Every structure is written in C-alpha cells, then in structure tokens.
Structure 1
Amino acid sequence: MPWQLADPLTLGINVGWVALWLALVGFSAWWLHRQPNSEPEFVRKTVHIGTGNVILLAWWLQIPAGFAIAASLLFSAISLLSYYLPLLPGINSVGRSSFGTFFYAASIGLLVAWFWPLDLPQFAVLGILVMTWGDGLAALVGRRWGRHPYQLWGEKKSWEGSLTMALVSWLVGGLVLGTLGLGWAVTWGVALGVAIAATALEACSKLGIDNLTVPLGSAALGFWLWSWLPWAGG
C-alpha cells in the first residue's frame, strides 16, 4: 500500500505533529467555550475549521491510511457518545438532534480509505477542505451577515451563506486540484463543478448530514471528472 513509512521514529514524529495540532484545536475550543457570552455556534465552527485541516497534515506528512482510519473510528465513537454524555461540551449538546460531528469524523476515515490506497490523496483533501472551509465559513457568514434567507425542506439558509460556500469551495478546489498538474482551465473548471455540487448538497442537507454528503460528493465528483472526461486528463 502506498505511503507506508519504514522508519518508526519518523512515523512517530509525524503522528505527534498531527496530535499536537488536534490538541491546539481542542484547547482553543475549551478556551472559547469558557469566555463570557461565548457563542456555541462560533465554538463549533472554530473546531470544524481547525480539525478539518488535519487532512493537510496527513497528506504532507504521508501518514499511513491505517493510522488515519483508526483515528477516524475513535473520534466517530467519541462523537456518538457525546450526544448522550457531556464528553464534548461546546461542540455537541446532549440530546442534540444533529449528528454532524459523527458524520464529520466518519467522512475523513471513508475518504482516506478510498483515496490513500490509490495514491490520490488530493481527492480526499478536496472533499474534507470543501466541507471544512466552505461549509464552516458559509455558516458563520450566513449567521452574521445573512440578510436574504431562503428555506429548503425546513432548513433555513441564506443566499450570502450559500454564495460564500460556492466561492470558498471553488477556491479550495482550484488550489488542491492544481497539484495534479492539469491545465489552468481544466483545474478551475472542475473546481467550479465541484463547488456548485457542494453548495447544492449543503443547501439540501438536514440533521448535519452535509458533513457526510458534501465531502464524499465533492471528492467523488472531482475524481469522476478527473478520471473519465477526456479533457480532464484522467
């Protein structure tokens, strides 16, 4: 399998960097949660954005798939328990109807299991970062500056938030897909398709399932375009 590191010391150091980053994100969430007039949504989105960037470290440090999948399973289990026990105060509320945190952790493991063995980590990174930055910033912008609401299937959204989702997803997609060596027009064209699909998935999702549909849908569409369309160079 690709990316099996032979040196245990190097592997340990690299996993340590990932653990340190997650610890910093966790400390930030704890500190924000303890501040006077702390906004739970801001705390959740800080963790949402901070945690998602771990996929970049896993990519750059060449963390083996087994470690990433095991971590995903662990955090998925913790997130499920947190809906019934106060394990993640400020991120999940006991009895909360949305399972977004669980879907978030699960999506990372699923995408690593899919694309790490193919030696195409870019598509796992694409899916996670579209969710991390696109969805995260869309929620914050919509909450603070959303002045033009709309509603789909009982879910309230704003055009400002959806526009943020599309633009950020397009930018993230272009930067990540650019590492595949495609032409400029193809790179940003595929990224645009991914951004439109991700925005639609986010707008239509309920109960936090966008944390699963957005990353998997974005990665799958990007991979399909890269693999099958003649002009995409797959």
Structure 2
Amino acid sequence: MFEIESIGTLSLQLAVVSLWLGGIILAAEGIYQYTHISSEVVRKIVHIGTGNVILFAWWLEIPAWVAIGASAVAATVALLSYRFEFLPGINSIGRKSLGTFFYAVSIGVLVACFWPVGHPEYAAIGILVMAYGDGLAALIGQHFGKHPYRFWGEKKSVEGSLTMAMGAYFVSILILIDVRGNSWEVWAVSLAIAVLATVLEAFSKLGIDNLTVPLASAGLAFFLSQWF
C-alpha cells in the first residue's frame, strides 16, 4: 500500500510540473508564431514562468533525484534545440547564447546541493532571483533603458540593472522572511544577494549569467544566513 501511495504521489507531482512547463512552452511558441510580440519578450515569459518550477518542487516535496533528472532532460533538450532549431520562440535572440542550457543546469545543481541538507529555500532563492530579476531587467532595459553602459563588453542599461537589483532583493526578502521570520539580518542578506546578482547579471556573455547568478545567489544566501 505504501509503495502504491508513493507512486501515486510521485505521478501527481510529475503531472503538475509537466503540465506547468509544457503549458508555458506551448503558449510561448504560440505567441511567437501567431502574434507580433518580439522573441525577446516570449523568451522572458518562458524564463520567468519556468523558474517557478522550483517552487513546485519545494512545496510538493519532489525527490531530489526526480528534479535533477528533469533538469538533465531539459538541458539536453536545450542543446538539441540550439542544433536543430525546433524551439525558435525560445532561442531566437539574435546572438549566440547558451542561456537556456545553463538555466536548466543551475536548477539541477542547486537541487543537488540544497535538497539533501533540508534547505530547498536557498535553491528557490537562486532560481527565482534569476527568473524574476533577470527576466524583468531585460524587459525594462530594452523598452525603457535610456542610460546605457558597458560592462566587460556587454551592453546594459542603468534602468535594467536597477530592476535586476530590486527583483533579486524582493525575491530574497519574501523567501527568507517566510522561512526565518522578519529581522534585520534577513534584510541585510537580501541586500547582499541583490548587489552580487546585479553585478553577475551585467556580465552575460554566452548566457553564462543563467548559471552564475543562481549559484552565487543561493550560495551567498546560505553562507550569510548560517553566519548570522
């Protein structure tokens, strides 16, 4: 009976995650194919939407091996899509980037690091800082960025970077307050995460920020929270 219940629970968990991810990707491709919305906006819809899968994994208590396996599959699909171009709405960005691949890898790495020690909240911080911070920063920067600058050869805008910092800050605060309660340490840790994430996001050559921002944000959140 226990094994049947476990299989049933796991099946339900996978169904919820699969429906969420599949729905986002199909909706994004439909928007790209049948509307005049730019591919960058479509990519950021997927970017933000898929990032929330880490919350499903946390709240539904999906086993680490399942989440890691899913991220490996997603990373493989991302690499194949670059080669065979069967997801144009997600990968058509006008520059060489492995961002989708790095994004999938970062989820697997963070789950592998924080699920076994019983702190999935730090994995959630890493992924959601990237999902909301970078996703909104790109949209704001492209449409409202009036003060451009270059960082290690990458063109950014002050408006986009401020959006990244604010997104990272509020994501971190919401999660840490929920887990640890409201305190000055939580606000200080969130500020440190926001600063680090913004600096790393400014350097996004080949989409490497999709890996560095989640890993560094989660690592810093864990270290500072333990230290305080």
The normalised TM-score by structure 1 is 0.92
Q: What percentage of aligned pairs have identical amino acids?
A: 54
Residue in 2 aligned with 1:212?
Answer: 211
Alignment-derived partner of residue 82 in structure 2: 83
Task: Identify which range, 131-140 or 16-25, moves more after superposition.
Answer: 16-25
Instruction: Identify the range of structure 1 (33-42 vs 146-155) with the bigger mean alpha-carbon deviation.
Output: 33-42
Which amino acid counterpart does residue 98 of structure 1 have in structure 2?
Answer: S
Aligned-partner residue type, residue 219 of structure 1? A
Distance 2:109 2:52 in 1: 16
SS in 2 for 1:151: strand
**1:179 Cα shift?**
2.6
Q: Residues 36 and 182 from structure 1, CA distance in 2 versus in 1: closer, same or farther, beyond 3 angstroms?
A: closer
Structure 1's 19 and 56: CA in aligned 2 closer, same or farther, altered over 3 A? same
- Corresponding residue of 1:134: 133
Distance 2:181 2:225 in 1: 9
**Once the 2 structures are TM-superposed, how far is the Cα of residue 182 of structure 1 from its aligned partner?**
4.3
3-state SS, counterpart of residue 97 of structure 2: coil
Q: Structure 1 CA distance, aligned partners of 2:7 and 2:123?
A: 25
Partners of 1:53 and 1:125 lie apart in 2 by 8
Counterpart-to-counterpart distance in 2, 1:61 and 1:158:
38
Alignment size in residue pairs: 225
Aligned to 2:123: 124
The change in CA–CA distance for 1:55 and 1:157 in structure 2 (over 3 A counts) is: same
Does the Cα contact within 8 Å between 2:126 and 2:216 map onto a contact in 1? yes
Structure 2 unmatched ranges of 5 or more: none
CA-CA distance at 1:12 after TM superposition:
1.0
Higher helix share: 2
CA displacement at 1:216 relative to structure 2 = 0.3
Tell me how far apart the structure 1 counterparts of residues 93 and 129 of structure 2 sit (CA, whole Å).
27
Counterpart position of 1:35: 34
Contact residue 83 and residue 93 of structure 1 kept, 8 A:
no
Q: Secondary structure of 1:118's match? A: coil
- AA in 2 matched with 1:198: A
Question: TM-score with structure 2 length normalisation?
Answer: 0.94
Map 1:13-162; keep pairs closer than 5 Å. 13-93=12-92, 97-162=96-161
Could you tell me whether the CA contact under 8 Å between 1:86 and 1:94 is conserved in 2? no
Residues 94/84 of structure 1: CA separation in 2 closer, same or farther (3 Å cut): farther
- Distance change (3 Å), C-alpha of 1:194 and 1:46: same
Whether the 8 Å contact between 1:84 and 1:95 is mirrored in structure 2 is: no
CA distance in 1, matches of 2:143, 2:77: 30
